[in-house]
């Protein structure tokens, strides 16, 4: 049925538990969130090898299954056993149909490989009729196999297979007989060592009796058999499996009659008395059970039962305590079960866990696999102190550790890590604000207990709160480090980008404009471009109120305001300029053209707005003759004399007048008449 459970320290994953239940892994929280780092270490030093699997198979998950069509000699198979010999894995199967051959399946270094089948023969028909119990044991460097079987007391027997130093050898077979005729349709087999002697348990199907075989100090000794009887509740018991919980021994058996499971509690020694507890049938989750295997995986116990009647597998979960009432789940037929019989033990091939059963009705093997996952940042490490790791998906994960793998000093441990989903983080979306505006940034989430913002550019303190006010002058990304109380490792860095719409209104510097002169408004820092619009107020004396640089011809002191708006963002900015004017000078053009297309250029006269009186305004030709004169401030010369057009030339003018403020101004100059 199964291979050795407890005595081969060189086989990884012996019971799915670490040696002596010691704690070899430390560091890092047991609960964290996805994408948060965890740093693990080990108490083991100076080992020859280290192996860490960060996403190892977790027995609480549903296994995957596949059917292996054996291809060589399977004929109504029943008894099975599995072991690792050196770096290679082997599964053995015994046929119940004549000639009752023994088939060995060689998987090489990985139990996930396609095996090679080797028919070892029937050994002269010495293998038991209707073989069921099958054990592989390694002691002193030599491999032994034990097989029980039979129907009646006449045919029931125990045989020993001697492989020598390698399971690849063809064994020699020794018929150990019926040992007093107490074997009557024996079902399963468990070999163990205690107090310097070797023993085995087997159970009679018809009577339900538990039998103990005593080999003495060596497995090659002549065995004797003791009938321990039926404690009362065993009803055609078939498969059995032992469990040592660190203090006491327990033996689980499946009862085909009634489809129940019994637990025998031995205390600290398998040689002592025992008490039976019938665990029941788990509301119909069992249906003609044939065998059971139990494995301890990272603190919890799991049992798996083959149901021969309906070709399914049932999982029992004990949740940490082997004495706890288990919950049962029928996993259905996921591995091509067809008359599934006995199970091999569960064997951890580093990060994957495998188990096999033989299908009696279609001559195949079913492989049960608990696969490693792909959610860790790195799958494994061979360093004593591995790098920090993260997980990308929420769930329960096993960290598997082994040191001195394959050596007598091998130690195994595991750590279960609960990975939570990333908490919902409430934070501003990336957003746009207007330059010189202030915005409130808020970061929050369930169970948040710490928030730290950085950098603190244009930020109003404090900075270690869930909300801060910022007023950046340019595009800027603000980061926040958030820590949550859910789990010992749940921290996230997130950020928000604040884009700034830069709008600058520059009306230009305050200025003085002489009477009659003009000035162009707007400064060099004015935001320019098609996305901007401009509004100047008031419109008085301006050439335009919607251009960035209008002309002002003021008659008095004016305060102008300009508002620049970014039409795509709606952001705006305003600025102002004072324009002051005063009559301190006479302003006249230096040329004019009576036939110009521009009306203002067709006449020559005062440009001042604040000259209120003229003593005289005279114009002379080059011979000193007066061609125009007036005392009217608003009258202009049109380039004629007595309605006769004068020729183009330079003409001299003189003027004497008074400003509105009483100031008298005399001035002379020349003007060019062109046509």
Phi, psi of 20 (to 5 degrees): 70, 10
- 620 CB contacts (<8 Å, ≥6 apart)? 626, 627, 651, 652, 653, 654
**Cβ contact 91:107 at 8 Å:** yes
Helix (H), strand (E) at residue 302: strand 300-307
* Residue 476: strand, helix, or coil: strand
In 3D space, the residue among 29, 33, 38 whose CA is nearest the CA of residue 445 turns out to be: 33
Domain 19-370 = CATH 3.40.109.10: no
- 21 CB contacts (<8 Å, ≥6 apart)? 246
Supply the pLDDT for residue 667: 94
CA 233 from centre of chain? 50
Complete DSSP assignment for 508-568: ---EEEETT--EE---TTS--STTEEEEEE--TTBS-SSSSS-EE--SS-EEEEEEEEETT
Q: Is the peptide bond before 81 cis (omega within 30 degrees of 0)?
A: no
**Cβ contact 653:635 at 8 Å:** no
Supply the pLDDT for residue 487: 66
Q: Is the peptide bond before 366 cis (omega within 30 degrees of 0)?
A: no
Q: How far apart are CA 554 and CA 459, in angstroms?
A: 45
Phi, psi of 19 (to 5 degrees): -65, 120
In 3D space, the residue among 652, 641, 640 whose CA is nearest the CA of residue 595 turns out to be: 640
Domains in the chain: boundaries: 19-370, 436-495, 511-582, 591-673
In 3D space, the residue among 219, 297, 303, 301 whose CA is nearest the CA of residue 254 turns out to be: 303
Tokens, residue 300: 């919890």
Check: pTM over 0.75? Answer yes or no: no
**Greatest Cα-to-Cα distance within the chain, rounded to the nearest angstrom:** 164
Tokens, residue 537: 């107020």
**Cβ contact 170:162 at 8 Å:** no
Domains 511-582 and 591-673 equal at CATH topology level: yes
Supply the pLDDT for residue 154: 79
Q: How far apart are CA 203 and CA 230, in angstroms?
A: 9
How far lies 636's CA from each of 579, 587, 605, 653, in Å?
28, 13, 4, 12
Supply the pLDDT for residue 143: 98
Query: Cα–Cα–Cα angle for 42, 295, 268, nearest 5°?
Result: 90
E strands of 360-466, at which residues?
Answer: 364-370, 380-381, 395-403, 411-420, 426-427, 431-434, 439-444, 448-454, 459-460
Using the 8-state DSSP alphabet, how is residue 38 labeled?
Answer: B
Tokens, residue 317: 């979960």
Which class is domain 591-673?
Answer: mainly beta
Give the residue carrying structure tokens 């495998």: 354
Q: Which residues of the chain have pLDDT under 50?
A: 3-21
In 3D space, the residue among 460, 457, 479, 552 whose CA is nearest the CA of residue 513 turns out to be: 552
Using the 8-state DSSP alphabet, how is residue 376 labeled?
Answer: B
Q: How far apart are CA 468 and CA 59, in angstroms?
A: 47
Query: Cα–Cα–Cα angle for 572, 576, 580, nearest 5°?
Result: 160
Q: Which CATH architecture has domain 511-582?
A: Sandwich (2.60)
Which value, in Å, is the radius of gyration of the alpha carbons in the chain? 51
Q: How far apart are CA 422 and CA 492, in angstroms?
A: 9
How far lies 80's CA from each of 4, 200, 394, in Å?
12, 17, 37
């Amino acid at each position: 049925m199964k291979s050795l459970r407890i005595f081969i320290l060189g086989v990884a994953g012996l019971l799915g538990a670490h040696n002596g239940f010691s704690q070899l892994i430390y560091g890092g929280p047991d609960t964290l969130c996805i994408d948060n780092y965890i740093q693990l270490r080990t108490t083991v030093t100076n080992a020859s090898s280290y192996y860490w699997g960060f996403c190892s198979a977790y027995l609480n998950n549903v296994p995957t299954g596949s059917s292996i069509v054996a291809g060589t000699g399977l004929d109504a198979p029943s008894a099975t056993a599995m072991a690792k010999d050196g770096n290679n894995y082997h599964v053995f199967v015994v046929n119940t149909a004549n000639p009752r051959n023994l088939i060995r399946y060689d998987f090489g270094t990985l139990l996930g490989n396609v095996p090679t089948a080797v028919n070892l023969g029937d050994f002269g028909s010495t293998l038991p009729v209707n073989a069921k119990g099958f054990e592989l044991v390694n002691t002193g460097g030599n491999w032994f196999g034990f097989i029980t079987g039979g129907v009646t007391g006449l045919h029931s027997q125990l045989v020993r297979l001697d492989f020598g130093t390698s399971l690849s050898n063809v064994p020699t077979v020794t018929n150990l007989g019926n040992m007093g005729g107490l074997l009557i349709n024996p079902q399963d087999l468990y070999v163990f060592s205690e107090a310097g002697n070797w023993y085995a348990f087997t159970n009679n199907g018809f009577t339900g009796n538990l039998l103990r075989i005593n080999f003495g100090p060596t497995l090659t000794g002549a065995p004797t058999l003791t009938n321990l009887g039926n404690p009362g509740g065993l009803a055609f018991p078939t498969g059995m499996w032992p469990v040592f919980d660190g203090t006491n021994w327990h033996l689980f058996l499946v009862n085909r009659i009634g489809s129940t499971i019994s637990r025998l509690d031995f205390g600290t020694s398998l040689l002592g008395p025992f008490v039976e507890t019938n665990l029941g049938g788990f509301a119909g989750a069992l249906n003609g059970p044939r065998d059971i295997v139990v494995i301890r995986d990272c603190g919890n116990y799991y049992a798996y039962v083959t149901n021969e009647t309906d070709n399914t597998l049932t999982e029992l979960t004990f949740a940490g305590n082997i004495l706890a009432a288990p919950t049962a789940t029928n996993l259905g037929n996921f591995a091509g079960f067809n008359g599934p019989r006995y199970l091999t033990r569960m064997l951890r091939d580093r990060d994957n866990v495998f188990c096999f059963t033989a299908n009696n009705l279609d001559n195949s093997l079913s492989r049960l696999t608990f696969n490693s996952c792909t959610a860790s940042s790195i799958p494994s490490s061979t360093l004593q102190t591995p790098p920090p790791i993260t997980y990308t998906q929420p769930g329960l994960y096993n960290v598997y550790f082994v040191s001195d793998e394959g050596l007598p000093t091998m130690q195994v441990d595991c750590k279960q890590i609960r990975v939570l989903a990333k908490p919902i983080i409430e934070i501003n979306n990336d957003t746009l604000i207007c330059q010189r505006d202030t915005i409130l940034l808020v970061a929050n989430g369930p169970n948040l207990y710490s928030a730290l913002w950085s950098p603190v550019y244009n930020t109003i303190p404090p900075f270690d709160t869930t909300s801060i006010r910022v007023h950046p002058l340019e595009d800027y990304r603000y980061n926040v480090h958030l820590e949550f109380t859910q789990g010992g490792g749940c921290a996230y860095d997130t950020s928000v980008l604040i884009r700034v719409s830069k709008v600058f209104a520059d009306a230009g510097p305050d200025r003085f404009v002489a009477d009659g002169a003009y000035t162009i408004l707007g400064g060099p820092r004015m935001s320019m471009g098609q996305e901007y619009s401009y509004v100047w107020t008031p419109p008085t004396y301006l050439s335009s109120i919607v251009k960035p640089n209008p002309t002002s011809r003021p008659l008095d002191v004016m305060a102008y305001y300009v508002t620049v708006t970014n039409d795509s963002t709606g952001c705006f900015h305003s600025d102002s300029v004072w324009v002051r004017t005063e009559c301190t000078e006479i302003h006249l053009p230096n040329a004019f053209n009576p036939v110009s297309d521009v009306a203002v250029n067709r006449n020559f006269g005062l440009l001042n707005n604040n000259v209120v009186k003229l003593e005289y305004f005279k114009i002379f030709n080059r011979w000193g003759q007066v061609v125009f004169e007036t005392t009217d401030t608003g009258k202009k010369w049109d380039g004629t004399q007595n309605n006769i057009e004068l020729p183009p030339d330079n003409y001299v003018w003189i003027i004497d007048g008074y400003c509105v403020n009483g100031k008298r101004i005399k001035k002379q100059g020349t003007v060019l008449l062109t046509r």
